Structures are given as structure tokens and as C-alpha cells.
């Protein structure tokens, strides 16, 4: 059975799916690398706000079983994806989930975004028995088999759970470059760091901090960014290591979305509900046997759809639609 990505764009719907995905997140991500769940839930509910960039969350499913959680930011101008969390766990298959989960991600990105993008993500390092940081070799090796490569760069991510104490933690920066590229230029590295630190981490924290605390957070991330780019010379290039055969394999080539995906893009995920409303009202209108009800029929569909959508904007539209009913009068017989 193939896997598929299911978008999570509201916290008040599909709660079982959301919390099953977050349970995998809690179990598979190191505590110091986790964002507080209340923050994730906030950003899920605010992901549709007018930003040039995107924040998206997905449950990864096999049939009805949730086997993973994906959370990413997409920086539109730079054409870079930052996978904050890619968590996979299949109760029917011990060990790491095989690559069909990645195939479902590849298909989604290929069908919804322009080609030749870059994907980056962090694999947090772990403390060994004597307290030293070391690479999570098992996880890094797994992602290399899936075509990702580690960047030869001393990377750190900012502390997440609090804003006191240490500045950052070490991680391996992994990347998927477009085409046959195996090196990262100095300008590309600076762009990647700027996106991760400022367009993701700092933007993420803004709603949760008072102005004074946010200023301190901004100072911390500025210091970390300055420290990181101090390693980058003007003409430097950074090698990447990985499985050359797998990383050069053609991916993101499935450019034909399913009909259901196209319908969802055009009409939104409430299309089945909307169709049911239309069908019921159509039969009601036919039962009444009056053609002058066509206009109220259209307005009624819009009003009920707005109630089903249940957002501030849809409620305002509902009130506007209802006000139009006052001007509808039956035609003279």
C-alpha cells in the first residue's frame, strides 16, 4: 500500500490524525530539538496568513495508519525548502520507514512547486557517554540512502525550548541540491543560513515573546548567524558527502497530480461537503418546482458553505450573503 501526504491546516478538524502525527514527533525528535507543541498548533492555525513564504504540516499515511509527520517552511524568493521535522515510524515495519514515504513527499513537491529547488534540514547531534556531541550516524546514513547529502560545514541551530543558557546546539546540515550539483557556494551557504535563522527561527518566535524577550532572542540569533558566516570566505565552496549514485538519481519528476489534488486546489478541501450541499438544495429546488428560486439557491449554497468553513472571513461573508436575501423577491406569476 502506497503512502500519501495529508495536509494539516486546522487544529479543530482531524484531531486524531494531528495528534497521532505529533505523537511520532515527540517520540523521534530529541527533546532539545523540539518546538513546544503549543507553538506548532499556533502556526498550523495561522499558516494561511498573508506571508510570502509558507509554513506547512502533514501527516504521512499508509492507508488509515499514520506513520509520520512532516513540517516544512518554503522560502519563496530563495526557492528553498527547510524541513524542520521529518519523523517516520511504522508500527508494522521495524526500523526506519523505507523510501516510499520520501516518494510521497517528492510527488507532492513536484506537483505543487516549480522545479530546481533546494531542500535543507538539520540532523541534531547527540551526546555520547562522556557528554561530547557526536553525529547521529544511523539517521544520517539513512537520509544519505534516500539521496540527501551532508554539508561539510560546522552548523549549529539556536536553542529552542528556552531563551536562556547556551546559544545553540550542533547538528549536521543535510541538503538536496538541484541537478548534478555536489558543492555549495559561499553565497548559497549564506542564503541558506539567513533563511533558516531569520525567516524561520526568528519569525517563528515572534508571536510567543514579549518585546523585550523578542529583542533578546533577536540578539541571540544575530550572534549565532555572525558566528556561522565568519566561517565562510568570499570564494569558499563547501563539499557535500553522500551516496553519489542515489543522490544523482532523477527525483521530483512526477508532474501529474491526481484529479482529486487539482480539485482541492481549485475548490479547497471542503469540495465533498459543498457538492453534498449543492445536491440537496438542487433536489429541494426541483421539489418546489419554481425557477425564481435559482438566485436564493445560489445564495443559500454560499451561505451554508461559509458556515462550514468557520473562519473569521467566512463568517463575514455569511453575513453579507444573508443580507442579500432581503432584496430577493419572488417574480410575479
What pLDDT does 262 receive? Answer: 47
Q: Report pLDDT digits (tens) over 165-187.
A: 567 899 999 999 887 788 999 99
Q: With 70 as the cut, is the pLDDT of residue 313 above it?
A: no
Which residues are CB-contacts of 61 (< 8 A; sequence separation ≥ 6)? 3, 4, 5, 6, 17, 67
Q: Span 239-255, mean pLDDT? A: 72
Which residues are CB-contacts of 163 (< 8 A; sequence separation ≥ 6)? 209, 213, 216, 217, 220
Q: Span 240-246, mean pLDDT? A: 82
Domain 3-256 falls in which CATH fold? Answer: Aminopeptidase (3.40.630)
CA-CA-CA-CA torsion sign (255, 179, 139, 145): positive
pTM above 0.85, yes or no: no
What pLDDT does 92 receive? Answer: 63
Q: With 80 as the cut, is the pLDDT of residue 221 above it?
A: yes
Q: Report pLDDT digits (tens) over 37-73.
A: 899 999 988 876 656 789 999 998 888 888 889 999 9
Cα–Cα distance list, 222 to 2, 158, 218, 286 (Å): 43, 10, 6, 66
**Both ends of the chain: CA-CA distance in Å?**
59
Least confidently predicted of 101-105, 142-146, 161-165: 161-165
Helix/strand/coil (H, E, C) string of 156-218?
EEECCCCCCCCCEEEEEEEEECCCCCCEEEHHHHHHHHHHHHHHHHHHHHHHHCCHHHHHHHH
Q: Which three cell numbers stand for residue 159?
A: 536553542
Q: What is the mean pLDDT of the chain?
A: 80
Judged on CB neighbours under 10 Å (0-12, 13-18, 19+), 60 is buried
Contact between 246 and 145 under an 8 Å Cβ cutoff? The reply is yes
Amino acid at each position: 500500500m502506497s503512502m500519501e501526504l495529508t495536509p494539516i491546516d486546522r487544529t479543530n478538524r482531524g484531531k486524531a490524525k494531528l495528534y497521532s502525527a505529533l505523537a511520532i514527533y515527540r517520540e523521534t525528535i530529541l527533546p532539545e530539538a523540539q518546538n513546544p507543541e503549543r507553538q506548532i498548533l499556533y502556526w498550523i492555525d495561522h499558516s494561511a496568513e498573508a506571508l510570502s513564504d509558507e509554513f506547512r504540516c502533514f501527516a504521512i499515511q499508509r492507508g488509515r495508519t499514520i506513520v509520520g509527520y512532516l513540517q516544512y517552511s518554503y522560502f519563496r524568493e530563495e526557492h528553498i525548502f527547510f524541513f524542520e521535522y521529518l519523523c517516520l515510524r511504522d508500527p508494522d515495519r521495524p526500523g526506519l520507514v523505507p523510501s516510499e514515504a520520501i516518494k510521497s513527499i517528492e510527488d507532492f513537491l513536484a506537483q505543487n512547486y516549480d522545479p530546481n529547488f533546494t531542500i535543507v534540514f538539520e540532523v541534531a547531534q547527540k551526546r555520547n557517554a562522556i557528554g561530547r556531541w557526536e553525529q547521529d550516524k544511523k539517521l544520517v546514513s539513512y537520509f544519505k540512502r534516500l539521496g540527501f547529502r551532508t554539508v561539510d560545514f560546522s552548523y549549529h541551530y539556536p536553542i529552542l525550548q528556552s531563551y536562556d543558557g547556551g546559544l545553540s546546539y550542533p547538528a549536521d546540515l543535510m541538503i538536496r541540491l538541484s541537478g548534478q550539483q555536489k558543492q555549495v557556494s559561499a553565497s548559497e551557504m549564506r542564503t541558506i543560513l539567513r533563511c533558516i535563522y531569520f525567516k524561520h527561527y526568528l519569525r517563528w518566535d515572534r508571536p510567543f515573546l514579549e518585546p523585550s524577550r523578542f529583542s533578546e532572542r533577536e540578539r541571540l540569533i544575530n550572534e549565532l548567524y555572525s558566528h556561522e558566516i565568519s566561517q565562510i570566505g568570499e570564494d569558499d565552496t563547501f563539499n557535500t558527502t553522500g551516496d553519489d549514485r542515489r543522490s544523482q538519481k532523477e527525483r521530483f519528476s512526477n508532474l501529474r497530480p491526481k484529479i482529486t489534488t487539482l480539485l482541492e486546489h481549485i475548490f479547497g478541501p471542503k469540495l465533498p461537503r459543498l457538492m453534498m450541499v449543492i445536491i440537496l438544495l438542487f433536489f429541494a429546488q426541483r421539489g418546489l418546482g419554481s425557477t425564481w428560486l435559482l438566485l436564493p439557491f445560489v445564495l443559500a449554497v454560499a451561505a451554508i458553505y461559509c458556515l462550514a468553513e468557520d473562519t473569521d472571513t467566512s463568517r463575514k461573508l455569511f453575513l453579507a450573503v444573508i443580507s442579500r436575501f432581503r432584496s430577493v423577491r419572488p417574480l410575479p406569476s
